[in-house]
Structure 1
Amino acid sequence: MDLIPEPASHTGDPGRTGAVLDARTVLSAAPGTESTERWLRTTLGAAFALPLHPAPHTGAPGARPAPHTGAPAPAAIRLGLDPALGPEAYRLTVGDGAVDLTGGDAAGVFWAAQTLRQLLGPDAYRRAPVRPGAPLVLAALRIEDRPRFGWRGMLLDVARHFLPKDDVLRQLDLIAAHKLNVLHLHLTDDQGWRLEIRRHPRLTEVGSWRPRTKRGHRASPLWDDTPHGGHYTHDDIREIVAYAAERHIRIVPEIDIPGHSQAAIAAYPHLGNTDAVDTSALGVWDTWGVSPNVLAPTDEVLRFYEGVFEEVLDLFPAAVSPYVHIGGDECPKDQWRASATAQARVRELGVGDEDGLQAWFVRHFDRWLAERGRRLIGWDEILEGGLAPGAAVSSWRGCAGGIAAAEAGHDVVMCPQQHVYLDHRQSDGPDEPAPIGYVRTLEDVYRFEPVPPGLSAEAAAHVIGVQANVWTEVLDSRARLDYQTFPRLAAFAEVAWSTTLPAPGARDHDGFARRMEAHYRRLDALGVDYRPPTGPRPWQRRPGVLGRPIEGRPPNV
């Protein structure tokens, strides 16, 4: 039972026989479970060459019983719903030749299927059978499980280094395998604009590529002179959204405003503070850090981004994307201080200063999105200057912003950089590739507690979830992304899902490490280029590519 995340309860059932899945196994799906039915056929069916024939209908008026052949009845996989279980919860039972996957809703059935996949061993993660005809024997058992948080997310930064569509689809499969249910797509930044906006075509014609890229941390002297770029078309996004929906994953699109906007200004110079800087000379940024070039606080800019968000809402339907992320972080105010237009706007609006101007920017789009049935979410800087009641907060600079937001009645997703930034280095060894940030080992991530101690019960209820963030400044390939993300994402998934984890100091990390021995074999079958427990393999190292180590370790709070 080397399951990850660990379920709430799992027991054997020695009084019953188990089930043997083979080419005769049938699959029945109750109404509402069709997505899991399709997934089982395309995934487990392919891995083991199982046709998973539809179960014959019996009991209809005039139906004749199946003829008796003397052979044992085929095993059955049965999908069903029991709303009493609750959202995303499930019950998995194996006994007397049947495998029953029952969910509190359609998502719960899908998570039950992910658990079944783990029970069938590493070969279940392959795309074609490697042991044709080998019996798939399941012992009789009962598992009952439910998630701790409704938001179990991962941020994927495709702005700094573009990830092709097929790799995004692969990432959806990987997070689904770990029972995560949110993919936060960071689509725009100073270094690239990755989403086609048809009414503003230069956003991708100009803003989606840069002529060169800094290798390593921004202090590194190294450059890659290969132009870098790419973007997703409308149809690419529709495919990604549909693929996610089949796996009961929500997509949170992020369009960063008013900072982190140099790629957009390079495409449309009038979006910048033209009376403070020559925006016509700007290009897409080719290094890392925080660009000083931010959006101008004008009505023209508001109308431009309303048009952008109209297309975003069309591409990301509310059923899959109820939240829209507007960034709102790291917005330098120097250009607003130097801009006569911005200063006149401060006086006109009566917002006091440049921080009030940013708060006005955020509140405008909070109202605009709310009028269209969506909820705004942004980084914890959006708390500065006041926040509308319906907005939610991603707490990244630590837990303090999340605590303040929750105590003020705002929903919060905890994603503090000190704990769950997976681009941060995994050890302080000299072989760690492009080391940046805090040391966060597999055990560190496993001991992360998303709900800060001392938070009132009412405020704690506003911690709707937790998210691991994967920024890609130094992750320039799928292999580098794999290395930084895994195996730590498995530990994070257990923190996000399991309802039975004790306090961080009492968690059984040794037991988790033992379960990970089986999970590494699953990741091998999936082709994940993870970091081994013993350290990076020779080809995973990046000698000479500088990082930015931070002295010391973050506090475990």
Structure 2
Amino acid sequence: MDLIPAPVEAHRHADGGHVDLGPGTTLDAGPGTEGTARWLRATVGAATGLPLPPPPAGTPGTITLRLDPDVAERLGAEGHRVTVSAADGVRIAGGGAAGVFWGAQTVRQLLGADAFRRAPLPGRSWRLPHCSVEDAPRFGWRGVLLDVARHFMPKDVVLRYVDLLAAHKLNVLHLHLTDDQGWRVEIRRYPRLTEVGAWRTRTKVGLRESPLWDERPHGGYYTQDDLREIVAYAAERHVTVVPEIDVPGHSQAAIAAYPELGNADVVDTGALPVLTGWGINPNVLAPTEATVRFYENVLDELLEVFPSEFVHIGGDECPKDQWCASATVQARIKELGLRDEDELQSWFVRHFDTWLSGRGRRLIGWDEILEGGLAEGAAVSSWRGYAGGIAAARAGHDVVMCPESQVYLDWRQSDGEDEPVPIAHVRTLEDVYRFEPVPDDLTAEEAAHVIGAQANIWTETMDSVRAVDYMAFPRLAAFAETVWSRLPAPAVRDHEGFAARMSTHYGRLDALGVEYRPPGGPLPWQRRPGVIGRPIEGPPPIV
């Protein structure tokens, strides 16, 4: 049945029959399944032209949605059972509301590629094969980072990516909202963050090695109501939006707006613009009480918008040269009784860990938060290979595995000369399919702290949604299967079987309007001749 991600069990019934859907098809939504019913009518209903009304009182529905305690007990809240038969019609039973929704996504795939369109095509008929599908995810965190700080993505693009995640049963959207190159979230107490910090004068085209510049100003931001809309839209699709506000590094856009946040005794912070190029940046936050209060106020407003359990505070790539040279920072280290600058960064992270915990939230940060001591209660996004995640799991901390060598989707997809802006090592569709989030050298108790994995879409070289589509797909479909399905060891995974199912899935992506990388390589308009990258030869290191 060419389902992606692959289910735990899926069987076509021996009778070879079908259930036909037509104008008389009804949809019976039991208590707790109303959200999935709304989604089915809005999406599958739009694609098929079928209104899917409730059945008359006392009569069964053609399609029934139910919460099922047996499914909940055996498969968990995201587990589901889909049965299509002559006797029962189409029945979707879920352990919880999320399970019902993921079951509805399975039914959408079974209907064929045209069920992914926004309006019906003439002459189409709709039928589902008699079958049984039982499924549940391997991990609770099945995430994608979308970097909207480097290149701003309008709200409609974010909403579209929520739908694309949901179509692949991915359930976390990590929004990278702030960086040196832009501040993308409205903070009412500090209006200059978006008046100044959301805009840069020009943009480097390619990486540092490139001599090219786009001389147009670039920017944009989301109002708090925009973000509330995104959060609500995602929640209806059982996708959690996790915000990231980067501290203490990657903060030049904030310093450009409020120079007092920077290390003014060693650099003229008033002259710092929003950064126009890429790379690790020496201009970091001054770890003063005033800076801490500033970011507490920022997070106060953020928590009103984002109900997610986790809040990401970055913590990565924080050069400490300015801290070493700053008399103010050195006095701060002594005042706090710390040993060095690494412990100062750890203190900074620990402060916000405690602050968020006091408000019923949890801090998560990149694996640099391990430096100087792991913040108590914090979770770790392990990006510099597996080592940080292994260390965190062994210390009893939750981990989201997102090693750059495996699941950074800005890395090039082949070694062909026509790949657009070739970055780092080659990571093919098969490479991503063989990604394994849990290292072999963790014990069962330690492995339980790996709560999931995440693919990261960094957008330094992706200046349009077309470029994002090309780099994300089809690799994101492979990633979705690695975090949902219970696959065998990477070396013996059935990539050929996956590729065969992808031949059907490309039709779904076509219907959704996704401009993915074709299996044969980029189309002429997907190339970027003259924009050099930073290709690295040989296999990537696994650390």
TM-score, length of structure 2 as denominator length: 0.98
SS in 2 for 1:254: strand
The one-letter amino acid of 1:467's match is Q
- CA distance in structure 1 between the aligned counterparts of 2:210 and 2:352, rounded to whole angstroms: 37
1:387 positional shift: 2.1
The one-letter amino acid of 1:245's match is A
Conservation of the 8 A alpha-carbon contact between 2:385 and 2:542 = no
- CA distance in structure 1 between the aligned counterparts of 2:181 and 2:32, rounded to whole angstroms: 42
Partner of residue 194, structure 2: 204
Q: CA RMSD in A?
A: 1.1
The one-letter amino acid of 2:27's match is L
Conservation of the 8 A alpha-carbon contact between 1:420 and 1:445 = yes
1:140-168 residue CA offsets vs partner (Å, 9 max, x unmatched): 11000000000000000000000000000
Conservation of the 8 A alpha-carbon contact between 2:353 and 2:376 = no
Partner of residue 63, structure 1: none
1:136 equivalenced with 2:140 (yes/no): no
- CA distance in structure 2 between the aligned counterparts of 1:191 and 1:532, rounded to whole angstroms: 31
1:104 equivalenced with 2:99 (yes/no): no
1:530 positional shift: 0.3
Q: Equivalent pairs: percent with the same residue?
A: 70
| Aligned partner of 1:552 among 520, 523, 538 | 538
1:11 positional shift: 1.0
Partner of residue 27, structure 2: 27
- CA distance in structure 2 between the aligned counterparts of 1:340 and 1:34, rounded to whole angstroms: 60
Q: Which residues of structure 2 form unaligned runs of 5+?
A: none
1:377 equivalenced with 2:364 (yes/no): yes
1:323 equivalenced with 2:313 (yes/no): no
1:240 positional shift: 0.2
Number of aligned residues: 538
Partner of residue 257, structure 1: 247
- CA distance in structure 2 between the aligned counterparts of 1:376 and 1:195, rounded to whole angstroms: 19
The one-letter amino acid of 1:110's match is F
1:405-442 residue CA offsets vs partner (Å, 9 max, x unmatched): 00000000000000000011001110000011221000
1:551 positional shift: 2.5
- CA distance in structure 2 between the aligned counterparts of 1:385 and 1:87, rounded to whole angstroms: 38
SS in 1 for 2:369: helix
1:385 positional shift: 1.3
1:388 positional shift: 3.1
List aligned pairs for 1:466-481, cutoff 5 A. Answer: 466-481=453-468
Conservation of the 8 A alpha-carbon contact between 1:19 and 1:75 = no
Conservation of the 8 A alpha-carbon contact between 2:436 and 2:490 = yes
| Aligned partner of 2:285 among 291, 295, 307 | 295
- CA distance in structure 1 between the aligned counterparts of 2:480 and 2:542, rounded to whole angstroms: 18
The one-letter amino acid of 1:22's match is G
Conservation of the 8 A alpha-carbon contact between 1:209 and 1:229 = yes
List aligned pairs for 1:125-524, cutoff 5 A. Answer: 125-132=116-123, 134-317=124-307, 321-499=308-486, 501-524=487-510
Partner of residue 61, structure 1: none
TM-score, length of structure 1 as denominator length: 0.95
Q: Which residues of structure 1 form unaligned runs of 5+?
A: 59-65, 67-73
Structure 1: 4+ residue segments shifted above 4 A: none
- CA distance in structure 1 between the aligned counterparts of 2:145 and 2:368, rounded to whole angstroms: 18
- CA distance in structure 1 between the aligned counterparts of 2:270 and 2:61, rounded to whole angstroms: 68
Q: Which moved more, 1:15-24 or 1:155-164?
A: 15-24
1:219 positional shift: 1.4
1:118 equivalenced with 2:109 (yes/no): yes
1:121-178 residue CA offsets vs partner (Å, 9 max, x unmatched): 010010000134x321212110000000000000000000000000000000001000
- CA distance in structure 1 between the aligned counterparts of 2:17 and 2:409, rounded to whole angstroms: 43
SS in 2 for 1:427: coil
1:351 positional shift: 1.1
1:525 equivalenced with 2:511 (yes/no): yes
Conservation of the 8 A alpha-carbon contact between 1:24 and 1:75 = no
SS in 1 for 2:43: helix
- CA distance in structure 2 between the aligned counterparts of 1:16 and 1:400, rounded to whole angstroms: 50
SS in 1 for 2:107: helix
Conservation of the 8 A alpha-carbon contact between 2:242 and 2:310 = yes
